[in-house]
Amino acid sequence: MAKVTIKHDNGTTTTYEIAQEINLYQFLAGLNLIDAPCGGAGGCGKCKVKIMQPRTAWQEEETAVFTGQELAAGWRLACQHSVSEDITVVLPTEEVVSEIISQGYLRDFAPKPYFAKRLAQNGDTMVMAGQEIIGIEKGDTRDRLYGLAVDIGTTTVVAGLIDLSSGQELASVSCLNGQKTFGQDVITRINYAMTNTNGTLIQQKTILQDLRKLIKGIFAQCGRDYAITFKDIYEITVGGNNTMIHLLAGIDPSSMGMSPYLPAFKGALVAKGASDWQLPVSDLCRVYCLPAVSAFVGGDISAGILACGIHQDARNILFIDIGTNGEMVLSGNGRLTACSCAAGPALEGMNISCGVRAARGAIEDVRLIGSGADMLVEVAVIGEVRPTGLCGSGLLAAVAELVRTGILHKSGRLLEHPLVEKVAGKKRFIIDRENEIYLTQQDIRQVQLAKGAILSGIQTMLQAAGVDFAEIDRVLVAGQFGAHLKAASLTGAGLIPRELENVITYVGNTSKSGAYLCLLSTEERESVEQLTSQINYIELSHLAGFDAVFVKAIEF
């Protein structure tokens, strides 16, 4: 047994006891005290802590991040060290919590919840699931019928408490997905499941803990106001990517991690919340996870289609959700086409020299004003505090501005400019000299790969559907990433053609909106199951000639 003493930057100290050796990053991340872009893989240099005692030898990776003086003072990368004896750690900054988008666009619909209550002749209450009576409750409990609409994202989890009788959302809570300690993206989570004994079940346990925490959090927020208890939750609907749903169900996702990238299942999943997953809900509670289209076009995207109603819209609509994976759906010429691409981690601020998550201190927008030696770099920072780095939207904004001002060649090469410097033979564009924030040539290459993957995916879908860019009526951008993003950055960096700039709309967390629809309408649930079975899914990695489309699409 060892003690971990943590000194926070606000002067407080907390001590924890650990039963067995654990990586320091994993331990701190488990407490939500650290959230580095590479998730403990040793590649981002962002998990800085000061180890006060014991004196710890430094690793080679740390010499590239810290000066000799800092190393001598005890600064280390948490992910490079394990805890097996008493240790005292100083955290340099306050807890990092990403901004979480909990609301999304929702079209009109006719409510008709799957769960309902009817009064029996003897005064007791029948609980109905569809047409079936699944329980009898003593007395008249018709005013106690609630559900949860949940979005399980790779990074964040959001839950809304919904009154199933009125459709009103009473409260919404969110947290970071605790599985992030096993990897920041779906591929590393799948790898974790493949390479660790009980890797799937460990991750299932983690997400179930998150859900229990959120349910308790929601009642702490409003349970007393509405006189509701855990037992009044009869249904939970979940939108989530297919890896998240596999892990929630405790089903091995390994088959999605290797060619031909097939999920173990992709239809809607139904479970019993209390008995299957020990959630604090009614014993009658069912959990419904929206169906997926393929391994990497999941129930979160099905939910987005449903919430935005693009399957019922006669116009040509492009729906995109950009993250480590880019997921896209085109409603064109009367049919739905979908694909997904590996956009890589750059747009989430990972594997970028000065990349950070979209949280307080992240630069979310960049503008270049003037020219030549007089050029000024203006930045917008989340929380209006001292900038700590560039998040995905800031990164795209910076690249778009470099393209606009001609500092970036269409091949992606940084050209000569007073703000372009060479350090150790490598070019970088200085964004904030005082806070040492810059964009390297290598960072720009990462953006190029993401841009190429997304644009080539869109082009391929358009070609398959026989639709031109000029015929697109609307572009809907969903998910966490788009919240801080300007349409001009998307087009300026070339992810989406410039002529579509005026039809781009940000629609927010449509995964939760779609889950909400399925919670309140049996017909919407049937509709999402039908539409996912009819989508024309294109597997880009199997497509002849796709490489040539991709190579062309990486040009700015």
Residues that bind ligand FES (CB under 6 A): 25, 36, 38, 40, 42-47, 77, 79
Q: Cβ of residue 48: shortest distance to ligand FES, in angstroms?
A: 8
Q: Pull the structure tokens for residue 271.
A: 């479970």
DSSP assignments along 103-164, one per residue: -B-------B-SEEEEE-TTS-EEEEETTEEEEEESS--TT--EEEEEEE-SSEEEEEEEET
Residue 43 CB, nearest approach to ligand FES (Å): 6
């970036």: which residue's tokens?
A: 408
In sequence order, what DSSP letters do the residues of 542-554 get, joined into one string?
Answer: G-TTHHHHHHHHT
Answer yes or no: are the C-beta atoms of 349 and 362 closer than 8 Å: yes
Taking the complex as a whole, the smallest distance from the CB of residue 49 to ligand FES amounts, in Å, to 10
- Shortest Å, Cβ 26 to ligand FES: 10
Please tell me the distance from the alpha carbon of residue 414 to that of residue 438, in angstroms, as a whole number. Answer: 13
CB of 59 to ligand FES, least distance (A): 10
The length of the chain, given as a count of residues: 556
Nearer to ligand FES, 43 or 280 (CB): 43
Q: How far is the CB of 266 from ligand FES (least distance, A)?
A: 33
CB of 389 to ligand FES, least distance (A): 13
In sequence order, the 6+-apart residues with CB closer than 8 A to the CB of 541 are 259, 261
CB closer to ligand FES out of 82 and 459: 82
The three-state secondary structure class of 37 is: coil
Q: How far is CA 363 from CA 140, 367, 369, in A?
A: 54, 11, 16
Whole-number Å distance between alpha carbons of 227 and 170:
12
Nearest residue to ligand FES, scored by beta-carbon proximity: 79
Please say which residue, 58 or 234, places its beta carbon nearer to ligand FES.
Answer: 58
Distance in Å, CB of 94 to ligand FES, minimum: 18
Dihedral angle over CA of 513, 519, 521, 524, nearest 10: 50
Closest distance of CB 39 from ligand FES, Å:
6
List Cα–Cα distances, 450 to 292, 295, 436, in angstroms.
Answer: 23, 19, 25
Q: Cβ of residue 65: shortest distance to ligand FES, in angstroms?
A: 8
- Angle at alpha carbon of residue 506, lines to 337 and 104, rounded to 5°: 90
Closer to ligand FES at the Cβ: 25 or 277? 25
Q: How many CB atoms lie within 10 A of CB 442?
A: 13
> Given the structure tokens 């000061």, which residue do they identify?
50
- CB closer to ligand FES, 79 vs 540: 79
Q: Which is nearer to ligand FES, 117 or 357 (CB)?
A: 357
For ligand FES, the closer CB: 45 or 479: 45
8 A C-beta contact, residue 495 and residue 465: no
Please identify, using beta-carbon distances, which residue of 42 and 250 lies nearer to ligand FES: 42
Residue (25 or 27) nearer to ligand FES, CB: 25
Phi then psi for residue 540, to 5 deg, are: -60, -35
* CB nearer ligand FES, residue 45 or residue 389: 45
